A = this chain, B = another copy of it.
Amino acid sequence: MVKARKYVANKDFQGVPKREDFDLVEYELPPLKEGEFLVKAEWISVDPYLRFLNSKIPAPYDQFGFQIGTVQESRNPSYPVGTQVVTHEGWCDYSNAKETDDPLAKVYKLPDLQGLPTELALGVIGMPGVTAYFGFLEICQPKAGETVVVTGAAGAVGSVVGQIAKIKGCRVIGLAGSDDKVQWLEKDLGFDKAINYKTADIHKALAEAAPNGIDCYFDNVGGEISSIIIGKMNQYGRVAACGSISAYNEDPTKMPKATVLQPTIILKELKIEGFHVSRWSQPKDRWPEAFSDLVQWIKNGQIEVRSHVTEGFDNIYDAFIGMLAGENTGKAVVKI
């Protein structure tokens, strides 16, 4: 028998999730069934969608999320002992995993990272990177020379979107929430312009940074900032609606208001499309396409990566809250 620990979300969060909204449960894992394998977690991911989905899923539930681990015991010949895997088993130190058809709860072998750090499989070479890759390329359909705006630009997804946009020959403007992030985006990642949305006059800063208007907008935040950006878009502009973190801690029955979008959507014939990264899992699993390009771009120096590492299983909650508050630059992960 294996003793395991897991976080259970025990209620619908009110506003910012509290420590007592999670129970840390110790329990004994049942014996492996045919097809299952025992995974010991090494890296655990904290991402904005964990907050978002809390208002959509009835509590209590085991806190899900991506993690990287190594197979300790196996009743699945495809996953022998020692295999490194990515699962969606979440905030637990040991789990009995198995392959699944659920497009969200993906389980797969660690991609070939070509010597890059393992934790990138939760970031650029994981779900956030795939989100950036397909969400930007397939929904925004960027063309060289176009102007791209990305919000949450210093986050796990946004930082990759902006760099892919540069690779594709676009002018890239990022919005982020601190001067340090702004500096990282402009100096290290090669954004043409980064704007601290907490201190800048966004209207003015965007008008200066995007004198020819905005063609593509990769939206991680929603709300009033998105209304301002969308109001400056060009004819036939495309918006990939990926996240709305500005509203995640709001009461879902009383969502905030923002300047109406319809007059601009119509005048400029804009297309706004929401998506989940899971749409590129089925019917064909296209994630490996993204992994292959992303690994190459990192090795070429075209994509710069940064992980924001918190240490220790007992600190996952703090890492999660810090990420929701924007404390991370780059991908927030927890080393177990």
Which A residues form the contact surface with B (CB < 8 A)? 52, 56, 219, 222-223, 226, 241-244, 246-247, 252, 255-276, 279
Closest-by-CB residue of B relative to A49 is B266
Q: How far is the CB of A207 from chain B (nearest CB, A)?
A: 14
User: Mostly helix, strand, loop or mixed at chain A's interface?
Assistant: mixed
Contact B258 A222 (CB under 8 A): no
CA distance A264 to B244 in the complex (A): 9
Query: Which of B244, B267, B269 contacts A263 (CB under 8 A)?
Result: B244
Query: When chains A and B are docked, how far (Å) is the Cα of A52 from the Cα of B264?
Result: 11
Q: How far is the CA of A261 from the CA of B274 in the complex (A)?
A: 10
CA distance A52 to B269 in the complex (A): 14
Cβ contact of A222, chosen from B223, B247, B262, B270, cutoff 8 A: B262
Q: Once the chains bind, are A259 and B262 in contact (CB under 8 Å)? A: no
Task: Offer 11 A-B interface pairs, CB within 8 angstroms, sorted by A.
Answer: A52-B266, A222-B263, A222-B266, A244-B265, A247-B260, A262-B274, A266-B274, A267-B274, A268-B274, A269-B274, A270-B273
**A149 smallest CB distance to B (angstroms):** 15
Known: A244-B263, A255-B260. A279 touches B269 (CB 8 A): yes
> Given the known A-B contacts A56-B267, A267-B56, are A260 and B272 also in contact in the complex, defined by CB atoms under 8 Å?
no
Contact flag A263-B247 (CB < 8 Å), given A257-B257, A257-B258: yes
Task: Write out the residue numbers on chain B whose beta carbons fall within 8 Å of the beta carbon of A269.
Answer: 273-276, 279
A201 to chain B, nearest CB (A): 15
